[in-house]
Structure 1
Amino acid sequence: MILTGQNFIGSERTGMGRNTFRAVNPATGDLLPISFYEATEAEVGSAVLKAEAAFQEYKEQSSEDRALFLEAIGDELWALGDELIERCMSETALPAARLNGERMRTTNQLKMFASLVREGSWVDARIDTAIPDRQPLPRPDIRQMQVPLGPVGIFGASNFPLAFSVAGGDTASALAAGCPVVVKAHPLHPGTSEMVAQAIVSAANKTGMPDGVFSLVQGTSVEVGMAIVLHPRITAVGFTGSFRGGKALFDAANQRNTPIPVFAEMGSSNPIFLLPGAVSARGEGLASGLVGSLNMGVGQFCTNPGLVIANESTETSQLLEAMGDLVSKTASGTMLSEGIKDNYEAGVNRLTSFPGVEIVSEGISGQGKNQVPSKIFKTKATDFLGQSGLEEEVFGPSTLSVIAEGKDQMLEVARKMQGHLTATIHGTDADLEEYKDLIHILERKVGRLLFNGYPTGVEVGQAMVHGGPYPATTAPQSTSVGTGAIKRFVRPVCYQDFPQASLPLALRDHNPLNIWRLINGELKKK
């Protein structure tokens, strides 16, 4: 595929801007071929207006046609072959095996949402039939279902150039809901983004979707993203990235004349609580598992375990020593960009500036471009509780061990915590009984609770929650992974006393879609 560096305004390619930029190979620092056009405000506006023009036609596509579109995107991604992986490797320094796995995850997400659209019950149809002779007043016929919001702005993530990017979960769930999307490509992988955008446009053309159902704009400036968020025809935003970026979009969206929801996943430190029975019974295995999770993807996962909380004991000291030994033998890894590397180094330097924080171990320093070593720090729970800022995420392969004096102090640490994507408990059955209050505390702090596992790796399925209370996300009632993600881009509408012929198919008496519906309080298909 020949890259052009242009934006996709629907199926049209444009390059109106004077400013261009190029991708950088993070492993070498070399500029990659092809200059990419920074989208102008006019191009962003055209993309949004095309999405608005396409909305009604796309919304009315049959479930089968929309499902076929989603599946066709997956087929087109595979048709790009090794060329996609090679370009992505050069833009991210991620290995081919990781990227092929990520492409598989991306296409599986698309297939999952296609199946959801076909099945249809996600519209949550509810019917209360009329009771004309009810006293003292008749009951009208009232029918409710979820309907798509309208054009959605999507922001690609830096650390998942396929699965959380142009054709990732945000795009897949918005398209499944019936919403056209305008995607802001992440500037760290513009060539990858252009190739995936071409795959989506090709799928849209082959399946007869309206022009404007998908657009892609490129750019390094804040203005490109803000032009999407502030456009009056955009009805919602999906974002995966830093707290600073997500909060800026959230604030801007809420200052519009018509505020809109921003579903921003902004990362977290994902605390892991090590209970005494588990530390005593399997300390060596815990050390290996924790270090493996810490180093996965050079720590560049939003579910990286940045905090480990344990009670002071001889076994805990031995576990930390074992972790330190493993980390000291770990080679440095290449981060996604110089900026991300600099932020990591600033983050670990910030940790060491706090009184009571000491380094336990660090990995082998590398000489390559943008390489960083893993690091383990520790502090006492009294210092953690007495200083704000130690809970903040350091994006990269580091973790802070917090040593509590006992159960009560461990629970106090948990209560102090803000919102996170995940929390993990390692323990025995006896531990869980003794520390049952910990579960109750953490239920209010996170979107996903794990037992005897590790948070890195988010299963894509029906029951997954990838979200959590602020500041992990701006919308704790939602998830960005799993079929529940579709609910972000819909809203309920009810129809009162409408004739059958004017009702949506999902609400008609004879149930032509054959979906499960709540009828007079009873779930049924008939």
Structure 2
Amino acid sequence: MTDVVSTDPRTGRAVEVVAAETSPREVAALCEAALAAAPALEDMGRERRAALLETLADALEARREDVVAIADRETALGAGRLNGELTRTGYQLRLFAQVLREGSYLEATIDHAGETPMGPRPDLRRLLVPIGPVAVFGASNFPLAFSVPGGDTASALAAGCPVVVKAHGAHPATSQLVFDVMVEAARGSGAPEGALGLVHGLQAGADLVSHPAVRAVGFTGSVGGGKALLRLIEQRPDPVPFFGELSSLNPVVVTPAAAAERGEEIGRGTVASFTLGAGQFCTKPGLVLVPSGAAGDVVVEAMAAATREAPAQVLLTAGIAESFGRTSSELAQLPGVSELARGAEPEQRGGFTAVPVLLSARASSMPVELTEECFGPVSAVVRYDGEEELLAALAQAPSSLTATVQRGAGETDLPGAVVRALRPLAGRVLFDAYPTGVAVSWAQHHGGPWPSTNSQHTSVGTSAIRRFLRPVVFQGAPQELLPAELTDGFTGIPRRVDGVLRTPGA
């Protein structure tokens, strides 16, 4: 059986054997345990599941020093970044506890029996219920917030769905540690055995997706990886929902007015954004559209200067480093594309290092390949002449998680035209900001049309829970057989009764 090895990306050397790859028999046992746990996890009810999520957050934060140390050794992301990510992870677990207690996620709806223009109507009551065991694939670039204890796991557990996570090979030791912490805490909260499971290895991931107990799949990763999982799902006798976050260019538009008012600030801020976390953010700005002329020159010169000052950075894996080096070099050699600036070379060789790169092109001759995502610290500046050329360039861009407009003070005309062009392409439109960083909140959405995601509800924000629920209608049901939230006297959550939205206390 193949060992699962933890590697130090700063040196490229293997550090420890974490586990053996999970065998097909072990995967099946975990899936069957998750299926057996599903009724008991649902029966815990909203309040006890909320307490479970809060206990998981507390347990992870109690081991903060250990978790951050191992995660930093495995990812080279730095203690500051990882401490922030652990805080975020605890916050989103607690946020879903709030979602459970507030209750509107259930979409409880009651239509009493009565006469309608179509004739008599029976008593109808609808509620969202857990979909069943969920497979979650941890992301390489977020070892906590999008991994074993991440948003997919938090929202699935909140929904009442057991979770089996496929640990990412970039940080298996971190995954195993946080899993062990969470399982112990879950037991202490009264969660059923099997509510959480963990597998290691590529084949184990394939076996997990193919197991009949799994009712949905959450994935954050490459388009190629997502398509491979979709093929496996399509081969099942009962295909299940796949919720993937896959690829994103995240274009930034700088208007002439913005360039004239704060060109240097925008230039340096954009470089800080595309080099953050070694450019390994799904929201990294990969294409920056800057106007021609003197004001735009200020933006570009500031970007070039900031790129030259940027140090070499450590990427997560050998595969990411190899892909970055090859792809960034190929982009620089495209017709009409030139390398505008490079960051500092590493002081010593070894490890999975990358030098930040800033490319340049004209909107009138921009090759379509420049609009494809390159994972790592690279971005392209594209100069445009006028609104027509700008909008034509945006029409070439693929759909993304985000799109950003940097505008002048009080400017609305050109930004309005840009937003009309961008809204069909992006799930989040930013103004006068930078796309890296995704706040966890009720209003947040972290998706966009394919290839950024393939679903309406994504892994960040409270609507993430909607992925792991399905509607059930109870027709003519006696009160004693209804879920509590659908009974006549229940007032603890918002409900729509005979077409009227009613909130607690109203």
Which TM-score band (shorter chain)?
Answer: over 0.9
- Alignment-mate amino acid for residue 504 of structure 1: P
Contact 1:327 1:363 in 2 (8 A): yes
Say yes or no: does 1:116 pair with 2:92.
no
Preserved contact between residue 267 and residue 303 of structure 1 (Cα < 8 Å): no
Match of 2:19 in 1: 36
Cα distance, 1:135 vs structure 2:
6.2
Q: Does 1:165 align with 2:144?
A: no
CA 135–365 in structure 1, closer or farther in 2 if over 3 Å, else same: closer
Structure 1 letter corresponding to 2:252: I
Q: Which letter does structure 1 place at the counterpart of 2:464?
A: A
1:19-34 correspondence runs (5 A): 19-34=2-17
Structure 1 window deviating more from structure 2 (439-448 vs 368-377): it is: 368-377
Q: State how far apart, in whole Å, the 2-side matches of 1:491 and 1:124 are.
A: 11
Alignment RMSD (CA, Å): 1.4
What is the Cα deviation at residue 505 of structure 1?
1.0
Deviation at 1:54, TM superposition (A): 0.7
Q: How far apart in 1 are the matches of 2:422 and 2:110?
A: 37
2: CA distance, partners of 1:440 / 1:148: 37
- The structure 1 residue matched to 2:195, chosen from 213, 224, 237, is 213
Question: Does the C-alpha gap of structure 1 residues 332 and 135 become closer, same or farther in structure 2, counting only changes over 3 Å?
Answer: closer
Structure 2 residue aligned with 1:316: 296
Q: Decide whether aligned partners of structure 1 residues 135 and 469 sit closer, same or farther in structure 2, where only a CA change above 3 A counts.
A: closer
Contact 2:64/2:83 (CA < 8 Å) preserved in 1? Answer: no
C-alpha offsets along residues 172-203 of structure 1, whole Å, 9 cap, x if unaligned?
00000010001000011111111111111112
CA distance in 1, matches of 2:119, 2:224: 54
Q: 1:517 pairs with 470, 495, 502, which one?
A: 495
In the TM superposition, structure 1's runs of 4+ consecutive aligned residues that sit over 2 Å from their partners are 133-137, 428-432
CA drift at 1:416: 2.4
Distance verdict in 2 for CA 1:197–1:136, change over 3 Å: closer
Confirm or deny: 8 A CA contact 1:88 1:161 kept in the other structure: yes
In the alignment, is residue 508 of structure 1 matched against residue 492 of structure 2? no
**TM-score, length of structure 1 as denominator length:** 0.93
SS in 1 for 2:15: coil
Q: Which residue of 2 aligns with 1:7?
A: none
- Answering whether residue 306 of structure 2 is matched by residue 326 of structure 1, we say yes
Query: Does the Cα contact within 8 Å between 1:126 and 1:143 map onto a contact in 2?
Result: yes
Which residue in 1 is equivalent to 2:427?
447
Q: What's the counterpart of residue 263 of structure 2?
A: 283
How far apart in 2 are the matches of 1:84 and 1:383?
Answer: 48
Give the Cα separation in 2 of the matches to 1:360 and 1:263. Answer: 37
What is the TM-score of this pair, normalised by structure 2? 0.97
- Is the contact between residue 275 and residue 431 of structure 1 (CA under 8 Å) also seen in structure 2? no
Q: Which amino acid aligns with 1:313?
A: G
Gaps of at least 5 residues in structure 1 are 1-17
Amino acid at match of 2:235: Q
Number of residues paired by the alignment? 502
Contact 1:125 1:144 in 2 (8 A): yes
1:382 to 342, 361, 364: 364
SS in 2 for 1:32: strand
Question: What's the counterpart of residue 147 of structure 1?
Answer: 129
Aligned AA (1:515): I
Distance, in Å, in 2 between the alignment partners of 1:430 and 1:413 is 24
Asked whether the 8 Å contact 2:219–2:244 carries over to 1, the reply is yes
**Which residue matches 1:295?**
275
The residue that corresponds to 1:428 in the other structure is: 408
Which amino acid letter does the alignment assign opposite residue 422 of structure 2?
L
User: What is the correspondence of 1:113-512 to structure 2 with a 5 Å cutoff?
Assistant: 113-131=96-114, 133-134=115-116, 137-219=119-201, 221=202, 223-366=203-346, 367-368=348-349, 369-384=351-366, 387-428=367-408, 431-475=411-455, 477-511=456-490
CA displacement, residues 398-432 of structure 1 (integer Å, 9 cap, x when unaligned): 10111122101111122222210000000125542
Specify every segment of 5 or more residues in structure 2 that has no aligned partner in the other structure, as ranges: none
> Residue 4 of structure 2 contacts residue 200 of structure 2 at CA under 8 Å; is this kept in 1?
no
1:54 maps to which residue?
A: 37
